[in-house]
Structures are given as structure tokens and as C-alpha cells.
Amino acid sequence: MPQINAGDFKKGVKVVIEGDPYDMLDCHFVKPGKGQALYKCRLQNLLKATIIDRTYKSGDGLEAADVRKEDGQFLYKDRTGMVFMDTDTFEQYTVPEAICGDGGKFLQDGMAVGLTYWNDKVIEVIPPPHVNLKITYTEPAVRGNSSGNITKAATVETGAEIQVPAFIEQGETVRIDTRTGEYVERVKV
């Protein structure tokens, strides 16, 4: 693997530390009064999402991580995980649900996603920021509960449960923010 010199450290650089891929979130150059120049870096583990702080001297270097992002498509979910297809190579990958995160519960068959690879293995699934899903079950609205911030539980067609305003009824389509799992708005079909 190619080596990245400390002088080339900057935000967004992908490196390998102790066998795991890291994304450089921040890097500051520090020149003390005497001695070598230092690079103070904040890095995020791409497999575990943990953040570490490290300091490197000007002559140090790190191995470059073979991390790439591609377009993909969600195909289906089975008992072994969620199956995705790379839209360029048409290769299929079975990914554990834990890697998909909370946004995975809003995916429908055929939906476009972003796939992040490390050593030809999917390490992250990026769902679209917003999805439109139909409400399959929710309690009927109670008369008089139409004002204020009153919410109720609702189940969408993927099986996920979300909180929606009291005026939303079964059969309506709503827009959901996949990053937070929150209701955004009602969608006219």
C-alpha cells in the first residue's frame, strides 16, 4: 500500500492504523519554538465509528487505506443479512444489518444507496437522506387532538415504527428522514 507522509495529512484522507481504516476528521500543523513540527490529528474508525486523537512528527507517515464509495441498490433482506448490488459491476454483497445502521430499516427493494468498500468488503451503507413510505398501521386520531405537538406511533410498509403527528391516518404516505428516523411531512400521492 502507498504511504502518506505527515506533510500530506488533511481532512478527508483515509489511512490504516493498527489494521483498521480511519477517516481524518481534522489535522492541525503545530510548530513549537524548538524541535520538530507536529501534526495533531483527529481520526474516526470507519468500522467502529470511534474517534481517536493522535500526534505525528513531520517525518512520520501512515499507510493509505483502500476505501472507495460506489453507487448501489438494495435488493432484499433475508435471514443472513441485507443483500445489495453494486450498480457498476452487478456484484451482490450480503451485509449484516448492524452495518446498515438505523437507516436500514427504511430501505425498500430496488432503492438506490451508497456503498463504502474497504479491501473489496462493504463497511458502510448510506441510505438516501429521505424516503417516502406508506403507513400500514396507526391508531385512529382522537377528536380534539389536532392541535399542538401530539404524536402517535405508526408502522410503515418496511416494518419500522416511527412517531407521526396525530392527524396522520393509516394508508397515507409520509416522508421520513433516514438519518434520524423522524417524520418530515405528509406526501400527496
Alpha-carbon distance 36 to 148, whole Å? 61
**Domain housing 114:** 67-126
Question: pTM score, two decimals?
Answer: 0.77
Total number of domains constituting the chain: 3
Task: Identify the domain boundary among 20, 41, 64.
Answer: 64
Q: What is the pLDDT of residues 121-144, one digit of tens each?
A: 898 899 999 999 999 999 887 666
Are 58 and 74 in a shared domain? no
Are 116 and 135 in a shared domain? no
- Residue 133 β-bridge partners: 174
Task: Identify the domain boundary among 86, 107, 126.
Answer: 126
Are 121 and 172 in a shared domain? no
Q: What percent of the chain has pLDDT over 70?
A: 96
Are 139 and 166 in a shared domain? yes
Half-sphere exposure for 148 (CA within 13 Å, toward CB): 5
Mean per-residue pLDDT over the chain, rounded: 89
Are 88 and 111 in a shared domain? yes
pLDDT score recorded for residue 1: 60
Q: What is the pLDDT of residues 57-116, one digit of tens each?
A: 988 999 999 888 999 999 999 898 999 999 999 999 999 988 888 888 999 999 999 999
Q: What's the CATH code of the domain at 49?
A: 2.30.30.30
Are 142 and 119 in a shared domain? no
Q: What's the CATH code of the domain at 179?
A: 2.40.50.140
Chain-centroid distance, C-alpha 74: 14
Task: Identify the domain boundary among 29, 46, 64.
Answer: 64
